[in-house]
């Protein structure tokens, strides 16, 4: 009996297991590169989701930028070849960071996609969350236009993934060294770009964003480093620890090795390198955090709260009421006249009006009036 019960239980369990829907397979991401654009046709495409295949030397940096997949292909048209390498990231910040990481100082700015730079036959640009490196066999006058058509054909993210990072916008423009901005999201990238402080001082467990740029000074070249933390409180704690570490040996600093710092909101700004202290402080003063505040309190009177509007509304209401009373009075009078004329039998007069002739009483009091009659009967009068 017990064996039969166990067998029945196993059969029921197997039925439930059979009815359980199978897990949906993970959707394959859309192809990065189009089959053709501007008369270029794709051949020999290769795709991977391994950052070590996309860039073996900087696989850790690619992971920090949010790498998702990669595709390379050779495009051809009569007498021409073009090699493309495209990497997709989780959001636009990752693509921008990778763009700054691979961009070289000698490159020339181009108008392709969101940002682009070129050097010789190589063009580097990003559009949305996709970074593209194009290597032409030779550059022509139509190369930029062809890559713009390619940028328009790239798949684009939706929602917040399309929002660019705001930290690089805080860099001041005067004395900026062209193509020197580097945007970093992890310790591997921080070490790769030669940051002036170590990753332990940054504390990547607090999820900071980091950007570096170089500036020319009277003593040479200085580095401005911005660290964006989630809250001003975290930024204040990190600044105290960074200052303590950097100022542990004050005698080591000089005009060729300056250190200055400040905090503005959740941003920690550091200046290092060859800069006089006055120029370093001036550079720091140019970094100011602009908070995006939503103010819910009313900043001006609404039409409902404006006393002038209230008085004007009362005047208009009084006018409307007077006009309505006047119109109703005319209608009532016209109705009475019409009823009296066409249906007199339905009109009941109020009768004669009772009036007192006070004029007679007045004249009597002024002259000798008639004798008052006695209220008693004639027989009882004495």
- Cβ-based neighbours of 285, under 8 Å, separated by 6 or more: none
In a domain, 239, yes or no: yes
**CATH number, residue 181:** 3.40.1000
Q: Is 193 inside a domain boundary?
A: yes
Q: What domain range includes position 266?
A: 167-285
Residue 278 lies in a domain: yes
Residue 145 and residue 173 share a domain: no
Question: How many folded domains does the chain comprise?
Answer: 2
Domain match, 41 and 150 both = yes
DSSP states along 141-204:
TTHHHHHHHHHHHS----GGGGPPPSGGGGS--TTBPTT--EEE-SHHHHHHTT-SS-HHHH-G
Q: Are 158 and 204 in a shared domain?
A: no
Is position 334 within any domain?
Answer: no
In a domain, 318, yes or no: no
pLDDT of residue 24: 47
Tell me, yes or no, whether 154 and 62 share the same domain: yes
Q: Where among 162, 195, 223 does a domain terminate? A: 162
pLDDT class for 256, splitting at 50, 70, 90? confident
Same domain membership, residue 228 and residue 112: no
Instruction: Evaluate whether residue 55 is within a structural domain.
Output: yes
In a domain, 273, yes or no: yes
Query: Domain for residue 23, yes or no?
Result: no
pTM here? 0.69
Same domain, yes or no: 181 and 268? yes
Q: Does 20 have pLDDT greater than 50?
A: no
> What are the tens digits of pLDDT across the range 334-363?
888 888 778 777 666 555 556 666 665 555
18-27 contacts at long range (C-beta below 8 A, 24 or more positions apart): none
Q: Among 15-24, 150-159, 167-176, which is the least confidently predicted range?
A: 15-24
Calculate the average pLDDT of the chain: 84
Are 151 and 174 members of one domain?
A: no
Q: Per residue in 265-314, pLDDT tens?
A: 999 999 999 999 999 999 999 999 987 655 565 666 666 667 788 788 88
What per-residue confidence (pLDDT) applies to 23?
45
């Amino acid at each position: 009996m017990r064996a039969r019960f166990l067998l029945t239980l196993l059969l029921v369990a197997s039925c439930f297991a059979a009815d359980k829907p199978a897990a949906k397979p993970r959707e394959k991401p859309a192809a990065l590169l189009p089959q053709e654009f501007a008369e270029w046709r794709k051949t020999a495409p290769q795709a991977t989701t391994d950052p070590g295949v996309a860039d073996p030397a900087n696989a850790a940096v690619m992971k920090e930028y949010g790498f998702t997949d990669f595709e390379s292909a050779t495009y051809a048209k009569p007498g021409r070849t073009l090699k493309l390498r495209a990497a997709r990231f989780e959001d636009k910040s990752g693509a921008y960071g990778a763009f700054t990481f691979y961009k070289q100082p000698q490159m020339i700015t181009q108008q392709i996609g969101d940002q682009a730079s070129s050097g010789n036959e190589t063009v580097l640009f990003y559009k949305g969350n996709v970074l593209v490196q194009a290597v032409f066999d030779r550059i022509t006058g139509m190369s930029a236009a062809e890559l713009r058509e390619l940028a328009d054909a790239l798949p684009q993210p939706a929602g917040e993934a399309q929002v660019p990072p705001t930290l690089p916008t805080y860099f001041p423009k005067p004395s900026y060294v062209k193509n020197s901005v580097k945007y970093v999201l992890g310790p591997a990238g921080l070490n790769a770009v030669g940051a002036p402080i170590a990753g332990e001082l940054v504390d990547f467990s607090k999820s900071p964003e980091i950007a570096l740029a170089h500036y020319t000074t009277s003593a040479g070249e200085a580095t401005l480093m911005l660290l964006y933390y989630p809250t001003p409180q975290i930024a204040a704690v990190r600044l105290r620890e960074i200052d303590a570490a950097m100022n542990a040996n004050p005698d080591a600093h000089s005009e060729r090795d300056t250190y200055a710092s400040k905090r503005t909101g959740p941003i920690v700004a550091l200046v290092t390198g060859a800069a006089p202290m006055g120029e370093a402080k001036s550079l720091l003063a140019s970094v100011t955090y602009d908070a995006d505040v939503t103010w819910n309190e009313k900043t001006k009177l609404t039409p409902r709260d404006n006393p002038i509007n209230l008085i004007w509304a009362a005047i208009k209401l009084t006018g409307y009421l007077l006009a309505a009373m006047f119109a109703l009075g005319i209608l009532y009078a016209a109705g009475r006249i019409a009823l009296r004329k066409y249906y007199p039998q339905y009109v009941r007069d109020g009768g004669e009006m009772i009036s007192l002739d006070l004029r007679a009483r007045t004249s009597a009091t002024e002259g000798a009036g008639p004798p008052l009659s006695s209220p008693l009967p004639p027989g009882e009068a004495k």
